[in-house]
């Protein structure tokens, strides 16, 4: 018997744009998968690579980092740094033996409730297809 | 009167970007601000734009934090659905009478869940969405409007028209927020100074008979197009024609009404370039033609923005004597080109950039404030003074398009300047 | 002290109560360590709700508060005030968003309940690691340094001084007034430039609050809003140095003109009688417009957009002052023929079109042109150009006035470095935000106005100067302390390895390096709390208060359950 796979997705949302966009998705009563648990940070640049790798090591099936569109960062250039870290993190995720697509970076503005819903729905489907994080059940790497 | 007891409150008229900026700045200096807004929401024209030039920043993201700050600021008394009826007195001691219309929704109890909309039996054109979508008689203008509390349009509400004992909205509300017994109020305030920041309107394109506006399908005004592109707008940002298909070509017509008004509205060329970016971002292969007279893109950042668009192959055509009419394959535009020769263009969609003009209630406001307007109907600067924020009456200042057509940056600078003037006057 | 966490779940009317099985949530979170009480309430943000919470805090002697309700963007402030009323530090509080990001995005009650449990548990686990944070207050010096004594600098200084602020006005030239001193008239009012300046300079000299330093420049500016240490030096006097302390700095250093020598096709510096607009202004102000040989010109051409292609922007003022030049010429030499060669007529604003239309008249022509080349033809000059239909045309003139692009002054880079701000498009000082912050910069307390911020006319420069005073009068108030950001970065002395990575990623210059201890140090007054340094730090030495790694880790652990 195969148990239905319920993904566990962690979403790091920046306070000024993407967290607001996620709120708007709620205010607009859009359907967003409950598999994503949001964690608010002040800026996408706060998303520590260690946090992301820890997330995967602890069994997260997917990690979404969402920030302001390039040029719109509340702290000037934070999101550019997030983008650079994301590029490197993708390799790290591969190094853990996981599909690099389990990590996603999206720019979502405060007025893009619709887009937030679309991104999370799409990501959720993708993760479902990939299956659960194998590290969840492993005792050691 | 002792200096300590002297009333230092400020009246700010208009809660658009200028009014909001001025109010927040005054509050920082511990001045109490009475911010009077005619509509039920804050943000004015700026919240109608999806993005602003030249950095194409999300407009609502830009304004939402300051709107929230405004709503939570203890020094700012926001009075919506209100108009200034009378102002008497001298600088330092103005007595202001305000007419505040009832919202019929309790602002403390309402949590903004929108449950009252569905049951309302009345459906009307939504003015905020330029008539492109509908609203109910109890409504908020758009998703994300702040304050997030609806109002009842008593002119069209069945109950308030005496047509029916309808209680649909009240019955749907779980928070006892709907109160039909609210009454219009008359509020009297005493203030030290006043800032008028009531914004602008755009020239009524139906007055230009040759432009086919309102007669020919798929001819849109700038504001209509902004709402079409807006992700919280009537089509959720999908650019579609009346027949729901995507346009393959578009023409943007600059300077509509310029001859009639006698001045260049300063922002239209820039937002027309922005529109080009909008179109290309959603429909990459769309063919865009701009019909313009002079390209007005001053400033250190604006030409760069234009050149970025130019790279995507937009046709810039100098044109005059424009005539727009229906065509079997879309919209036909006849014009005289730079040579003076007749030329024509067939496109799927036409967007017209109208002149910016004073609001229809600007002269009434000027009369109430007892300040002068200029030959165009904008508020006039004090003669002999080099400051652009001082009106003809001491103690009354202005900021933004109420003084003349300008962009957001210039409006914010004027709002800051008006505050500077108020704080530095003895 | 034992932790006593109070957990309160808001029903938000039917909004949450109908979508989430709150009783199940209560059962799930009750057993967690440190949880003293778990209750639900109809509407926590209401007056009744707030009262209830304060009573609960006192009743149970709560040390921490968790509320599961709407978005922090709605009511974080509300509940923080409740904490203060209940005498709990407002940072020992966490709000779990179970409405916008949970109840409202799904119809599956089961899913919503499970997620609510996760989010509430996450909030409880996080709040256990919260530390009390206190408001910071620092004294601010209300005095201001204004760099540049042109129309902008003068206007700012007068406005600030009239509010009893002390202003130090530094000007590198021997006299105040800047460029406007050279303009016989300014558009569109055509009032006299030098008179305007004279009037304002007189007011400055009268004003005891303004200390003027001419022939001087700023050497050093170190500090932050409320506390800048400034050093100025008299030019050419090595030992004449002064130090003082101010709370804010205004850069009003104006602009200069693009040098047409760079574009040889205009013949500037090669042919006589090809002059720049500034040279023409000076000539006009002297009273007589003449050619180099002393004769009166009869055919003057004014060439717009000189250097526009090279600089990449339109300088805003040139079309209008070129129209003004037509008036100068016609006033002094009624029979002169004037031709304006332009690309696009840039005359925005309510008064400018009228100004242009009233300038038109006999022997005045405005010609759209491009690909301009200037050559000598006998005793005259000949302009070859393409008209807008690409026909080659020629025009003869005995005097050619070039309207060059407006650029930042030559010391803009030096000043940007001294004040720790950046140069943006065109090399002009970068404003904090193109739309909402044209006067402020990324360094709090440093403001930019006038042409130093970007090409603009005199009236717009004055508006910006007044705006700067508005910003300063509201951010620096005598006697009032400045409250900087609380949730700032902190760098552990023990863990810092001195790699300086954090210094390079900070957009605000908030981190400095202590050379003796060989560690990075955060200036808590400048830090804005973005967290970039934290993510960049290889040794985990950096953390953001209230968003520490451990706090986020607790939320993360619940998210992956």
As a residue count, chain C comes to: 561
pLDDT score, position B1: 46
Check CB contact of A62 with chain C, cutoff 8 Å.
no
Segment C232-247, tens digit of pLDDT: 999 989 889 999 999 9
The complex's ipTM?
0.95
Using an 8 Å Cβ cutoff, are C434 and C326 in contact?
Answer: no
Q: Find all residues with CB under 8 Å of B95, minimum gap 6, and list them.
A: B87, B88, B89, B188, B189, B190
DSSP annotation string for B12-46: EE--SHHHHHHHHHHHHTT--EEEE-SSSSSSTTG
The Cα–Cα gap between A58 and A54 comes to: 6
Q: Which CB contacts under 8 angstroms, 24+ apart, belong to B182-185?
A: B182/B102, B182/B103, B182/B104, B182/B106, B183/B102, B184/B99, B184/B100, B184/B101, B184/B102, B185/B99, B185/B100, B185/B102
The Cα–Cα gap between C490 and C529 comes to: 10
Nearest CB among A32, A42, A77 relative to C531 is that of A42
- Nearest Cα to Cα of residue C251 among C436, C506, C431: C431
Tokens of B315: 């046709």
Query: Distance from B424 to chain C by nearest Cα, in Å?
Result: 5
A72 neighbourhood in chain B, CB within 8 Å: 55, 57-58, 61-62
pLDDT score, position B4: 52
Q: Note the CATH number of domain A9-133.
A: 3.40.50
B112 neighbourhood in chain A, CB within 8 Å: 27
Nearest CB among C344, C436, C437 relative to B296 is that of C344
Segment C20-66, tens digit of pLDDT: 999 999 999 999 999 999 999 988 988 889 999 999 999 999 999 99
Segment C371-407, tens digit of pLDDT: 999 999 999 999 999 998 899 999 999 999 999 999 9
The Cα–Cα gap between C366 and C151 comes to: 31
Q: Find all residues with CB under 8 Å of A107, minimum gap 6, and list them.
A: A17, A18, A66, A67, A68, A69, A70, A79
Segment A82-110, tens digit of pLDDT: 999 999 999 999 999 999 999 999 999 88
Segment B49-103, tens digit of pLDDT: 999 998 888 888 789 889 989 998 999 999 999 999 999 999 999 999 999 999 9
Distances (CA, A) of B362 to B403, B414, C309: 10, 18, 41
Query: Distance from B362 to chain A by nearest Cα, in Å?
Result: 31
A29 neighbourhood in chain C, CB within 8 Å: 104-105
Rounded average pLDDT over A107-125: 91
E strands within C83-186?
93-97, 144-147, 167-170, 185-186
- Nearest Cα to Cα of residue A77 among B172, C535, C285: C535
Query: Distance from A15 to chain C by nearest Cα, in Å?
Result: 9
pLDDT score, position B425: 73
Q: Which residues of C27-36 are buried (b: 16+ CB within 10 A; e: fewer)?
A: ebbeebeebb
User: Average per-residue pLDDT in chain B?
Assistant: 95
Contact A72 B58 (CB under 8 A): yes
| Residue tagged 């946090």 (tokens) | A51
Using an 8 Å Cβ cutoff, are C361 and C334 in contact?
Answer: no
User: Domain extents for chain B?
Assistant: 10-101+184-200+358-424, 204-355
Q: Which residue of A has its CA nearest to C433?
A: A76
Nearest CB among A25, A78, A117 relative to C530 is that of A78
* pLDDT of C352 higher than 70: yes
Percent of chain B with pLDDT over 90: 88
pLDDT score, position B56: 83
Segment C61-96, tens digit of pLDDT: 999 999 999 999 888 988 999 999 999 999 999 999
| Residue tagged 């997330």 (tokens) | A55
- H/E stretch holding B288: strand B287-292
Phi then psi dihedrals of residue B215, to 5 deg? -115, -45
Using an 8 Å Cβ cutoff, are C160 and C469 in contact?
Answer: yes
Q: Which residue of A has its CA nearest to C432?
A: A76
pLDDT along chain B (426 residues), means of 10: 71 98 96 98 96 86 88 96 97 96 94 92 96 96 91 96 93 94 97 98 96 96 96 91 95 97 97 96 96 97 94 93 95 95 97 98 97 97 92 97 98 98 83
* pLDDT of A139 higher than 70: no
Segment C511-527, tens digit of pLDDT: 999 999 999 999 998 89
- Nearest Cα to Cα of residue C71 among B70, B237, A113: A113
The Cα–Cα gap between C159 and B153 comes to: 45
> Do B10-101+184-200+358-424 and B204-355 share a fold?
yes
The domain defined by B10-101+184-200+358-424 folds into: FAD/NAD(P)-binding domain (3.50.50)
pTM: 0.88
A113 neighbourhood in chain C, CB within 8 Å: none
Strand, coil or helix: what is B280?
helix
Segment A18-70, tens digit of pLDDT: 998 899 888 888 899 999 999 999 999 999 999 999 999 999 999 999 998 88
**C-alpha B371 chain-centroid distance:** 23
List all residues of chain A from 82 to 111 with a beta carbon under 8 Å from chain C: 82, 85
Nearest CB among B28, B29, B414 relative to C463 is that of B414
Chains that touch C (3 or more CB pairs under 8 A): A, B
Q: Which residue of C has its CA nearest to A14?
A: C530
User: Domain extents for chain A?
Assistant: 9-133
Rounded average pLDDT over C287-293: 96
pLDDT score, position A1: 42
Rounded average pLDDT over C152-175: 96
Q: Note the CATH number of domain B204-355.
A: 3.50.50.60
pLDDT score, position A141: 57
Q: What structural domains and CATH numbers belong to chain C? A: 5-133 (3.40.50), 144-254+409-475 (3.50.50.60), 258-405 (3.50.50.60), 489-545 (3.30.70.20)
Segment C203-228, tens digit of pLDDT: 999 999 999 999 999 999 988 899 99
* pLDDT of C433 higher than 90: no
Contact C552 A19 (CB under 8 A): no
pLDDT score, position B426: 47
User: Average per-residue pLDDT in chain C?
Assistant: 95
Strand, coil or helix: what is C324?
helix
pLDDT score, position A69: 84
* pLDDT of C139 higher than 90: no
**pLDDT band at residue A76 under the 50/70/90 scheme:** confident
Whether omega for the bond prior to residue B281 falls within 30 degrees of 0, making it cis, is no
Q: Which of C435, C455, C482 to mutate to test the interface with B (most CBs of B within 10 A)?
A: C435
């Amino acid at each position: 018997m195969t148990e239905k796979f319920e993904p566990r997705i962690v979403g790091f949302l920046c306070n000024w744009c993407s967290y607001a966009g996620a709120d708007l998705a709620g205010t607009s009563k859009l359907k967003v998968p409950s598999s994503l648990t949001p964690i608010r940070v002040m800026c996408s640049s706060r998303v520590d690579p260690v946090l992301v790798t820890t997330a995967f090591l602890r069994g997260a099936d997917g990690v979404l980092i969402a920030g302001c569109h390039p040029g719109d960062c509340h702290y000037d250039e934070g999101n550019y740094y997030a983008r650079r870290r994301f590029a490197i993190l993708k390799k790290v995720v591969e190094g853990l033996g996981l599909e690099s697509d389990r990590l996603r970076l999206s720019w979502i503005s405060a007025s893009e409730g619709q887009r937030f819903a679309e991104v999370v729905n799409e990501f959720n489907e993708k993760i479902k297809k990939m299956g659960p994080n194998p590290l969840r059940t492993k005792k050691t790497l | 009167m002792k200096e300590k007891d002297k009333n230092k409150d400020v009246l700010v008229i208009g809660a658009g970007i200028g009014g909001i900026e001025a109010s927040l700045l005054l509050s920082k200096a511990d001045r109490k601000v009475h911010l009077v807004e005619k509509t039920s929401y804050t943000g004015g024209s700026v919240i109608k734009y999806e993005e602003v030039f030249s950095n194409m920043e999300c407009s609502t993201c830009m304004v939402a934090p300051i709107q929230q700050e405004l709503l939570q600021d203890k020094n700012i008394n926001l009075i919506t659905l209100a108009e200034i009826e009378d102002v008497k007195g001298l600088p330092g001691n103005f007595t202001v009478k305000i007419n505040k219309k009832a919202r019929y929704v309790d602002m403390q109890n309402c949590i903004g869940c929108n449950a009252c909309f569905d049951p309302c039996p009345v459906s009307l054109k939504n003015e905020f969405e330029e008539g492109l979508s509908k609203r109910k008689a109890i409504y908020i203008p758009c998703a994300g409007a702040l304050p997030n509390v609806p109002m009842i349009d008593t002119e069209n509400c069945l109950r308030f028209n005496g047509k029916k004992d309808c209680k649909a909205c009240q019955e749907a509300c779980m928070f006892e927020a709907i109160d039909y017994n609210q009454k219009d109020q008359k509020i009297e305030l005493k203030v030290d100074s006043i800032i008028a920041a009531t914004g602008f309107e755009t020239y009524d394109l139906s007055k230009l008979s040759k432009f086919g506006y309102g007669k020919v399908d798929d001819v849109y005004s700038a504001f209509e197009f902004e709402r079409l592109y807006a992700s919280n707008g009537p089509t959720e940002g999908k650019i579609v024609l009346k027949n729901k298909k995507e346009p393959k070509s578009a023409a943007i017509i600059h300077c509509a009404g310029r001859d009639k008004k006698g001045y260049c509205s300063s922002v239209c060329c820039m937002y027309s370039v922005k529109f080009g970016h909008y179109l290309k971002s959603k429909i990459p292969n769309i063919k865009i033609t701009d019909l313009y007279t002079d390209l007005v893109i001053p400033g250190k950042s604006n030409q760069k923005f234009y050149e970025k668009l130019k790279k995507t192959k937009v046709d810039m055509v100098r044109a005059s004597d424009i005539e727009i009419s229906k065509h079997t394959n879309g919209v036909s535009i006849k014009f005289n080109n730079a040579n003076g020769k007749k030329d024509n263009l067939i496109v799927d969609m036409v967007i017209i950039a109208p002149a910016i003009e004073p609001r229809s209630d600007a002269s009434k406001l000027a009369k109430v404030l007892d300040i002068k307007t200029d030959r165009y109907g904008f508020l006039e600067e004090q003669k002999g003074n080099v400051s652009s924020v001082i009106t003809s009456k001491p103690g009354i200042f202005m900021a933004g398009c109420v003084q003349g057509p300008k962009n957001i940056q210039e409006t914010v600078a004027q709002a800051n300047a008006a505050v500077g003037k108020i704080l530095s006057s003895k | 002290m034992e932790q006593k966490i109070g957990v309160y779940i808001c029903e938000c009317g039917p909004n949450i109560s109908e979508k989430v099985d709150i009783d199940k949530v209560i059962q799930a979170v009750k057993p967690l360590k440190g949880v003293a009480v778990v209750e639900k309430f109809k509407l926590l943000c209401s007056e009744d709700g707030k009262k209830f919470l304060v009573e609960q805090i006192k009743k149970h002697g709560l040390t921490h508060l968790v509320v599961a309700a709407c978005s922090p963007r709605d009511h974080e402030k509300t509940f923080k005030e409740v904490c203060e009323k209940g005498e709990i530090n407002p940072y020992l509080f966490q709000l779990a968003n179970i409405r916008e990001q949970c109840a409202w995005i799904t119809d599956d009650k089961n899913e919503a309940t499970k997620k609510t449990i996760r989010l509430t548990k996450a909030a409880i686990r996080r709040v256990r690691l919260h530390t009390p944070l206190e408001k910071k207050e620092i004294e601010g010096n209300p005095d201001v340094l204004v760099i540049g004594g042109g129309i902008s600098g003068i206007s700012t200084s007068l406005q600030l001084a009239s509010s009893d602020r002390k202003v130090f006005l530094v000007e590198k030239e021997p006299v105040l007034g800047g460029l406007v001193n050279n303009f016989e008239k300014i558009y569109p009012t055509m009032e006299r430039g030098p008179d305007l300046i004279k009037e304002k300079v007189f007011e400055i000299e009268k004003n005891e609050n303004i200390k003027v330093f001419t022939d001087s420049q700023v050497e050093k500016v170190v500090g932050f809003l409320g506390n800048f240490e400034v050093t100025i030096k008299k030019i050419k006097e090595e030992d004449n140095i002064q130090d003082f302390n101010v709370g804010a700095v205004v850069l009003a250093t104006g602009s200069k003109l693009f040098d047409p020598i760079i574009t040889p096709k205009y013949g500037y510096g090669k042919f006589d009688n090809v002059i720049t607009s500034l040279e023409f202004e000076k000539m006009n102000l002297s009273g007589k417009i003449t050619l180099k040989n002393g004769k009166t010109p009869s055919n003057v051409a004014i060439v717009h957009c000189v250097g526009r292609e090279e600089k990449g922007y339109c300088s805003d003022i040139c079309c209008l002052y070129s129209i003004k030049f037509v008036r100068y010429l016609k006033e002094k030499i009624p029979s002169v023929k004037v031709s304006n060669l332009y690309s696009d007529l840039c005359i925005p604003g309510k008064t400018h079109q009228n100004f242009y239309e009233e300038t038109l008249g006999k022997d005045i022509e405005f010609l759209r042109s491009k690909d301009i080349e200037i050559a000598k033809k006998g005793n005259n000059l000949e302009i070859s150009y393409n008209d807008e239909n690409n026909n080659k045309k020629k025009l003869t003139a005995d005097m050619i006035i070039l309207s060059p692009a407006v650029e930042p002054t030559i010391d803009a880079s030096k000043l940007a470095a001294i004040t720790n701000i950046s140069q943006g498009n065109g090399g002009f000082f970068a404003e904090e935000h193109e739309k909402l912050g044209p006067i402020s910069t990324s360094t709090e307390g440093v403001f930019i106005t006038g042409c130093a911020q970007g090409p603009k006319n005199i009236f717009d420069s004055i508006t910006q100067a007044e705006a700067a005073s508005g910003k300063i009068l509201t951010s620096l108030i005598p006697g009032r302390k400045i409250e900087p950001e609380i949730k700032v970065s902190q760098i552990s002395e023990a863990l810092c390895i001195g790699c300086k990575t954090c210094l390079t990623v900070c957009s605000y210059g908030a981190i400095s390096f202590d050379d003796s201890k060989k560690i990075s140090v955060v200036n808590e007054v400048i830090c804005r709390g973005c967290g970039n340094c934290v993510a960049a730090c290889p040794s985990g030495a950096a953390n953001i208060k209230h968003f520490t790694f451990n706090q986020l880790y607790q939320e993360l652990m619940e998210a992956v359950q």
